[in-house]
């Protein structure tokens, strides 16, 4: 069986991109022929895939995506028949992996009324409808109950085509206990004091991840907590706006912004708290990566994997709709009781018992089911 995977852009540190990498690797392991179509690929290319860089350029993102889908559609029509698996919403997909939240829900929740009259809205709504709309046949893999609720609300009748996947956390995030040596060494490396509070946030796309919310929460801390608090932000995005906001809030010297990197387990081991107040997120792998590393989590109910934090009892969740004052209060409360609550022990235990690692295998099982096997 031949498989054609479609993704607009690939870089090593995005959750959507890592999901593609893991699923493609599992397909290759099972002996399937794999093509990947993308506009840009950053990072190593898995052995065994045929990478096809789509030669399209445009002045706007909407025009670029239209050109991409048109080019790929023509290429697929003249190529050997294959199962078409998309990581972005577009027409002609056999299977869609829902790494993104429902676009129409997001537009309704986060945009003004004027947005529905823009060409950008029409494009992304139409492409989403090509996957989820009535009489469509695309099979859809989803990551959280939150996604199912949203898609069934805005696209009635699509429920039978939604298929739940377990998380696909890398096994290198799983630990038996917190490593004191790693904690000490990283803190020495960055010049933090032994008893300083180290807050960690990880994710590409700083705006949607709610980094502004994190900075405001840190700035709101009582002085005795704030002067001991340092914030490390790791992700692939422009840092200038974050730096400017931190400066206005007078906490710039307490912030360290780093690009995406491969040694995330070191930072999970060295930190005191994972803060992830995202505006809207389909899953949020970092919530689970922190949980199973024994790092307490403070997040928002609008993250798809927040329910894992609740089940594991590995931290606190801010309610929806979001209220900055609630985040500020919960951050202060958590810092005052770190080491007294059982968030760390609960998270480590959850990592040992829950099915958090099998997503790639389950996804390829579904591909085989939908396509009738080899």
CA end-to-end distance (rounded Å), the chain: 5
Question: Each residue of 254-282: b (16+ CB within 10 Å) or e?
Answer: bbebeebeeebbbbbbbbbbbbbbbbbbb
Determine the topology of domain 2-166+358-371 in CATH: Rossmann fold (3.40.50)
Alpha-carbon Rg for the chain, nearest whole angstrom, is: 21
Q: Looking at the DSSP assignment, which residues form a beta bridge with residue 3?
A: 34, 83
And the tokens for 226?
A: 């704030």
Per-residue confidence of the chain (374 residues) as pLDDT tens digits? 899 999 999 998 888 999 999 999 999 999 999 999 999 999 989 899 999 999 999 999 999 999 999 999 999 999 999 999 999 999 999 999 999 999 999 999 888 889 999 999 999 999 999 999 999 999 999 999 999 999 999 999 999 999 999 999 988 788 889 999 999 999 999 999 988 999 999 998 999 999 999 999 999 999 999 999 999 999 989 999 999 999 999 999 999 999 999 999 999 999 999 999 999 899 999 999 999 999 999 999 999 999 999 999 999 999 999 999 999 999 999 999 998 999 999 999 999 999 999 999 999 999 999 997 44
Quick: pLDDT tens for 316-356.
999 999 999 999 999 999 999 998 999 999 999 999 999 99
Quick: pLDDT tens for 9-38.
999 888 899 999 999 999 999 999 999 999
The rounded distance, in Å, linking the Cα atoms of 75 and 37 is: 10
* Residue ranges covered by each domain of the chain: 2-166+358-371, 171-353
- Burial class from Cβ neighbours inside 10 Å (0-12, 13-18, 19+) for residue 305 reads buried
Determine the topology of domain 171-353 in CATH: Rossmann fold (3.40.50)
Considering the entire predicted model, what is its pTM? 0.91
């Amino acid at each position: 069986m031949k498989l054609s995977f479609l993704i607009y852009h690939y870089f090593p540190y995005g959750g959507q991109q890592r999901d593609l990498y893991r699923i493609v690797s599992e397909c290759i392991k099972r002996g399937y022929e794999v093509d990947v179509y993308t506009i840009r690929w950053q990072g190593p290319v898995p052995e065994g895939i045929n990478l096809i860089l789509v030669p399209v350029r445009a002045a706007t993102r909407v025009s670029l995506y239209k050109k991409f889908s048109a080019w790929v559609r023509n290429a697929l029509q003249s190529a050997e028949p294959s199962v078409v698996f998309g990581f972005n919403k577009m027409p002609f997909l056999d299977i869609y992996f829902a790494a993104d939240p429902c676009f129409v829900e997001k537009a309704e929740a986060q945009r003004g009324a004027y947005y529905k009259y823009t060409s950008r809205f029409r494009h992304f709504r139409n492409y989403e409808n090509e996957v989820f709309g009535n009489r469509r046949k695309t099979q859809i893999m989803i990551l959280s109950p939150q996604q199912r609720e949203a898609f069934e609300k805005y696209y009635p009748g699509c429920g039978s085509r939604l298929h739940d996947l377990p998380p696909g956390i890398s096994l290198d995030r799983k630990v038996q206990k917190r490593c004191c040596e790693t904690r000490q060494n990283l803190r020495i490396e960055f010049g933090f004091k032994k008893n300083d509070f180290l807050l960690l946030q990880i994710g590409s796309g700083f705006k949607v991840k709610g980094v502004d919310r994190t900075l405001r929460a840190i700035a709101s801390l009582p002085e005795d907590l704030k002067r001991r608090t340092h914030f490390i932000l790791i992700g692939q995005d422009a840092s200038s706006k974050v730096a400017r906001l931190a400066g206005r809030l007078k906490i710039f010297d307490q912030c360290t912004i780093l690009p995406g990197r491969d040694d995330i387990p070191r930072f999970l081991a060295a930190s005191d708290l994972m803060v992830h107040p995202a505006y809207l997120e389909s899953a949020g792998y970092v919530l689970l990566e922190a949980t199973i590393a024994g790092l307490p989590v403070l997040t928002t109910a609008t993250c798809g994997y927040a329910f894992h934090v609740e089940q594991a009892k590995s931290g606190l969740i801010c309610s929806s709709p979001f209220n900055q004052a609630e985040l500020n209060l919960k951050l202060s409360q958590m810092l005052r009781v770190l080491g007294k609550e059982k968030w760390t022990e609960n998270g480590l235990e959850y990592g040992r018992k829950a099915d958090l690692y099998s997503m790639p295998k389950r996804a390829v099982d579904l591909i085989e089911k939908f396509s009738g096997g080899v």
